[in-house]
Protein backbone atom coordinates (compact mmCIF):
# COMPACT_ATOMS: atom_id res chain seq x y z
CA UNK A 1 0.00 0.00 0.00
CA UNK A 2 1.18 3.50 -0.88
CA UNK A 3 -0.22 6.98 -0.30
CA UNK A 4 -1.36 9.23 -3.14
CA UNK A 5 0.33 12.59 -2.47
CA UNK A 6 -2.60 14.56 -3.88
CA UNK A 7 -5.58 12.91 -2.20
CA UNK A 8 -3.84 11.28 0.79
CA UNK A 9 -5.62 7.99 0.03
CA UNK A 10 -3.83 4.70 0.67
CA UNK A 11 -3.98 2.48 -2.40
CA UNK A 12 -2.34 -0.57 -3.91
CA UNK A 13 0.86 0.18 -5.79
CA UNK A 14 -0.66 -0.94 -9.11
CA UNK A 15 -3.26 1.85 -8.84
CA UNK A 16 -0.55 4.51 -8.63
CA UNK A 17 2.30 5.93 -10.68
CA UNK A 18 5.67 6.57 -9.06
CA UNK A 19 7.50 9.80 -9.73
CA UNK A 20 11.11 9.95 -8.62
CA UNK A 21 13.73 12.63 -7.91
CA UNK A 22 17.32 11.48 -8.26
CA UNK A 23 20.50 12.82 -6.64
CA UNK A 24 20.89 15.40 -9.43
CA UNK A 25 17.40 16.79 -8.57
CA UNK A 26 15.99 15.48 -11.87
CA UNK A 27 12.33 14.50 -11.60
CA UNK A 28 10.99 11.76 -13.86
CA UNK A 29 8.28 9.15 -14.25
CA UNK A 30 9.12 5.72 -12.90
CA UNK A 31 6.73 3.23 -14.53
CA UNK A 32 8.77 0.26 -13.25
CA UNK A 33 8.90 1.54 -9.66
CA UNK A 34 12.59 0.63 -9.46
CA UNK A 35 14.50 3.82 -10.26
CA UNK A 36 16.82 5.01 -7.50
CA UNK A 37 15.89 8.19 -5.67
CA UNK A 38 13.09 9.66 -3.62
CA UNK A 39 9.70 8.56 -4.85
CA UNK A 40 6.17 9.90 -4.56
CA UNK A 41 2.97 8.34 -5.85
CA UNK A 42 -0.04 9.73 -7.67
CA UNK A 43 -3.26 7.99 -8.65
CA UNK A 44 -3.83 6.90 -12.26
CA UNK A 45 -6.52 9.54 -12.70
CA UNK A 46 -6.19 12.49 -15.08
CA UNK A 47 -8.24 14.81 -12.85
CA UNK A 48 -5.98 14.09 -9.87
CA UNK A 49 -2.82 14.65 -11.92
CA UNK A 50 -4.21 17.94 -13.27
CA UNK A 51 -4.85 18.97 -9.67
CA UNK A 52 -1.22 18.10 -8.85
CA UNK A 53 -0.13 20.36 -11.74
CA UNK A 54 -2.39 23.21 -10.66
CA UNK A 55 -1.14 23.03 -7.06
CA UNK A 56 2.48 22.24 -8.07
CA UNK A 57 2.33 19.27 -5.69
CA UNK A 58 5.52 17.58 -6.91
CA UNK A 59 7.44 20.87 -6.63
CA UNK A 60 6.51 20.96 -2.95
CA UNK A 61 7.13 17.28 -2.24
CA UNK A 62 10.55 17.25 -3.92
CA UNK A 63 11.41 20.79 -2.81
CA UNK A 64 12.54 21.77 -6.31
CA UNK A 65 11.22 23.77 -9.28
CA UNK A 66 9.75 21.38 -11.83
CA UNK A 67 9.20 22.41 -15.43
CA UNK A 68 5.63 22.49 -16.79
CA UNK A 69 6.67 20.00 -19.49
CA UNK A 70 7.07 17.31 -16.80
CA UNK A 71 3.49 17.82 -15.64
CA UNK A 72 2.28 17.76 -19.25
CA UNK A 73 4.16 14.49 -19.83
CA UNK A 74 2.67 13.07 -16.63
CA UNK A 75 -0.88 14.03 -17.66
CA UNK A 76 -0.36 12.45 -21.08
CA UNK A 77 1.04 9.26 -19.54
CA UNK A 78 -1.78 8.97 -16.99
CA UNK A 79 -4.39 9.62 -19.67
CA UNK A 80 -2.93 6.76 -21.72
CA UNK A 81 -2.79 4.42 -18.70
CA UNK A 82 -6.36 5.31 -17.71
CA UNK A 83 -7.59 4.59 -21.26
CA UNK A 84 -5.77 1.24 -21.26
CA UNK A 85 -7.43 0.28 -17.96
CA UNK A 86 -10.85 1.11 -19.36
CA UNK A 87 -10.15 -0.85 -22.52
CA UNK A 88 -8.84 -3.98 -20.79
CA UNK A 89 -10.82 -3.96 -17.52
CA UNK A 90 -13.03 -6.92 -18.48
CA UNK A 91 -10.21 -9.20 -19.58
Q: What is the CB neighbour count within 10 angstroms for residue 63?
A: 9
Tell me how many domains the chain contains. Answer: 1
Query: What domain range is 80 assigned to?
Result: 2-88
Q: What is the pLDDT of residues 59-89, one digit of tens each?
A: 999 999 999 999 999 999 999 999 999 888 7
First to last CA, the chain: 24
Q: What is the pLDDT of residues 15-47, one digit of tens each?
A: 999 999 999 999 999 999 999 999 999 999 999
CATH of the domain at 63: 3.30.1230.10
Backbone torsions φ then ψ of 80, nearest 5 degrees: -65, -45
Amino acid sequence: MRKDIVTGEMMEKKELIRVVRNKENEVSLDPTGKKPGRGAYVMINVDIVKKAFKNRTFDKVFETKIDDSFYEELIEYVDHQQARRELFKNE
